[in-house]
Structure 1
Amino acid sequence: MKAWNRPEIPTLPGLSSAPCLYDTATRGLVEAHTGDTARIYVCGITPYDATHMGHAATYLAYDTLQRVWLDAGLEVHFAQNVTDIDDPLLERAAATGVDWQDLAASQVDLFRRDMEALSILPPEDYVAVTEVLDEIADAVRRLVAAGVAYEVPTPDSSAGSDIYFDCALAADDDLWALGNISNLDSAVMEELFRERGGDPDRDGKRDVLDPLLWRAARDGEPSWASAVGAGRPGWHIECSVIALMELGRDFTVQGGGSDLVFPHHEMSAGHAAALSGHPLAKVYSHTGMVAYQGEKMSKSLGNLVLVSKLLAAGVDARAIRLTLLAHHYRSDWEWTDSALETAQDRLATWCSRLSGDTGTGDLPALEVLATVRESLRVDLNTPKALAQIDSAVALGVDDPALLRRAISALLGVAL
């Protein structure tokens, strides 16, 4: 599947070092480094209501991470999925009277345009779930054969059986066990499972938290013939299979919004461990939630600020990017017009004070570069980096061209 065009990244003198990221599983900072190639999987969109600021903030966070890796001299392998077959997409298509495939295609195109406008680095592997249905079905077959998946008859027995993952049988303290990524107790997990697409009340399941691997074909729903019968995949197994296919086992970072910690990342890691005999990733990294009008920005509430609408209104994409960068990627915060105005003022000041190649002060731009690198290296502290650049711009630097290149390379804002 085609991604989008890659922005130019200027070269900088010297090198940073591998960053440290907060790991949700261990609840501490971990060096995000697994050899000369950093491998990252970031869960993609379910293609409707794209691209709101919650999406944008997440993808910008891991864009920043990749820029730090590249600045440290590492190769980067980035993979991302598109969940182009799932209940929420089908429900939106039915509610709007649009074919689900047409809805998905139009929203993916919009997402590509938004990501390119925001100078987000594209994935090397951009994979739609519908492109890898055979591979997903084969993975489900292997889990059944390994004894960690089981059938549950559908209400209409003629439809066959759904297939579920047995969390208890798959548990292995050295690889994965339920709760060892999210650090949640069973009561909270059940509540979140119910809220986020799970079916704890399904008759025939061995445990309320066992997740769906394969949904048998139903009348009126899309389905595909497969090694485990006609149907379509569950949510979590999709990312497990795509990540293992494109990145291999033990990759560097699994990233996404904090609303994916449980059940999605917890279950995806369990599926991958059962398939590969290895942990899914070294670091499980999560971004905070963006609110609007007092509530978390969400498709269900409809309180969305869309990148495309701001761009259509003439807002500079660089100002949108700076609005997002002004908040630490792990923090929860609220989008406001005043936050955007502050970013627009910052952009105008930087453009004005850093124009040309003649120094406006004695502060060494190399020193500024070093401080910004260190701020980003320690858990991607973009608010601190912006403040350091603000201070340097106010004082004046000896080499504005170098500082412009640094801002473009590390923060993705070309002046």
Structure 2
Amino acid sequence: MTEITLYNTAIRAKEVLKPLDATNVRMYVCGPTVYDRAHIGNARPVIIFDVLFRLLRHVYGENAVTYVRNFTDVDDKINARAAESGRSIGDITAETTQWFLDDMGAVGALEPTQMPRATAYIPQMVAMIETLVADGFAYEKEGHVLFRVRKYEDYGKLSGRSVDDMIAGARVEVAPYKEDPMDFVMWKPSDAATPGWDSPWGRGRPGWHIECSAMAEDLLGSEFDIHGGGNDLTFPHHENEIAQSKCAGHGFANIWMHNEMLQVEGKKMSKSLGNFFTVR
């Protein structure tokens, strides 16, 4: 069989892909937050991991690859868009999700095997958070549940940073409910105008990082082959995913792959900088 060699961010080197199960090669790629049109920088990981998906299907068989790419449909950017437009959150996410699918179809990408929406996996997120609280890796304060970063010894290994260095030069949110500035939010309270779900810590909504840990575990199992995304996600998103999942007792991903950013005049293309061109 053809041997596939991939660059693994986690070890800073190329390694031969050795699937856990050659009849079901499993890959998770972080998908979009759906609140606006996708720009061509958003299309870059779609196209890159589509090429890998096709290669895996070619080598292992069309029905031997499970590719999961999520939609983040609960997020403060979506809430803000709803507030400013007067439209419901559900309407906005339904419309922008379809825009994304249409645009990625237009550039020729195959649809992944599974495309879970974060809001459909709230119970799985709550269950994972409960496990982490019970085992002392997370704590509740003022309706927030936070992960204790210093409890996970390998934190920073993926991105090649030490916790103290991260604090010194960091953009970390200092908040009165944090035991440590580096601790990150897994659950936060919701007010009447914000989407929320019942939980052991009150009505609230998940933080960004927990959703991918919960969905990957539910759809691909405790351990899987490849986790992908843009290199802007290496820290903090993927670093936090690893910490949560490992501390919840999961092996998680074996190979971590990251694509570079699309540049516009030397700067990353992003909605916040306004230097983007939509796929459409």
Aligned to 1:32: 17
Give, in whole Å, the separation in 1 of the partners of 2:128 and 2:50: 30
| Alignment check: 8 A CA contact 1:151 1:163 kept | yes
**Secondary structure of residue in 1 paired with 2:115:** strand
The equivalent position to 2:34 in structure 1, one of 47, 60, 65, is: 47
Instruction: In structure 2, give the amino acid aligned to 1:20.
Output: T
Q: Which has the higher helix share?
A: 1
Unaligned runs of 5+ in 1: 1-14, 154-160, 309-415
Given the alignment of the two structures, is residue 56 of structure 1 paired with residue 43 of structure 2, yes or no? yes
Give 1:121 shift.
Answer: 2.0
1:301-312 pair list within 5 angstroms: 301-308=273-280
Give, in whole Å, the separation in 2 of the partners of 1:33 and 1:67: 17
| Alignment check: 8 A CA contact 1:192 1:262 kept | no
Given the alignment of the two structures, is residue 119 of structure 1 paired with residue 108 of structure 2, yes or no? yes
| Alignment check: 8 A CA contact 1:150 1:164 kept | yes
Aligned to 2:225: 252
| Alignment check: 8 A CA contact 1:18 1:69 kept | no
Give, in whole Å, the separation in 1 of the partners of 2:251 and 2:100: 31
1:11-410 pair list within 5 angstroms: 17-34=2-19, 35-36=21-22, 37-74=24-61, 75-153=64-142, 161-169=143-151, 171-172=152-153, 177-186=154-163, 189-190=166-167, 194=171, 199-275=172-248, 277-308=249-280
For residues 4-45 of structure 1, what are the alpha-carbon distances to aligned partners after superposition, in whole Å with 9 as ceiling and x for unaligned? xxxxxxxxxxx6x24211111110002233130221000010
Unaligned runs of 5+ in 2: none
RCO comparison, higher one (Cα < 8 Å, 6+): 2
**Secondary structure of residue in 2 paired with 1:82:** coil
Instruction: In structure 1, give the amino acid aligned to 2:91.
Output: D
Give 1:165 shift.
Answer: 0.7
**Secondary structure of residue in 1 paired with 2:218:** helix
**Secondary structure of residue in 2 paired with 1:125:** coil
Compare CA radii of gyration and give the structure with the larger one.
Answer: 1
Give, in whole Å, the separation in 1 of the partners of 2:272 and 2:257: 24
Give 1:294 shift.
Answer: 4.1
**Secondary structure of residue in 1 paired with 2:182:** coil
| Alignment check: 8 A CA contact 2:144 2:201 kept | no
Give 1:110 shift.
Answer: 0.4
Per the alignment, do residues 263 and 191 of structure 1 end up closer, same or farther by CA in structure 2, a change over 3 Å counting? farther
| Alignment check: 8 A CA contact 1:141 1:228 kept | no
**CA RMSD after TM alignment:** 1.9
Give 1:180 shift.
Answer: 1.1
| Alignment check: 8 A CA contact 2:144 2:177 kept | no
**Structure 1 segments of 4+ aligned residues over 6 angstroms from their partners:** none
| Alignment check: 8 A CA contact 2:140 2:201 kept | no
Give 1:208 shift.
Answer: 1.2
Identity of aligned residues (%): 35
Per the alignment, do residues 303 and 96 of structure 1 end up closer, same or farther by CA in structure 2, a change over 3 Å counting? farther
Give, in whole Å, the separation in 1 of the partners of 2:264 and 2:186: 34
| Alignment check: 8 A CA contact 1:51 1:306 kept | yes
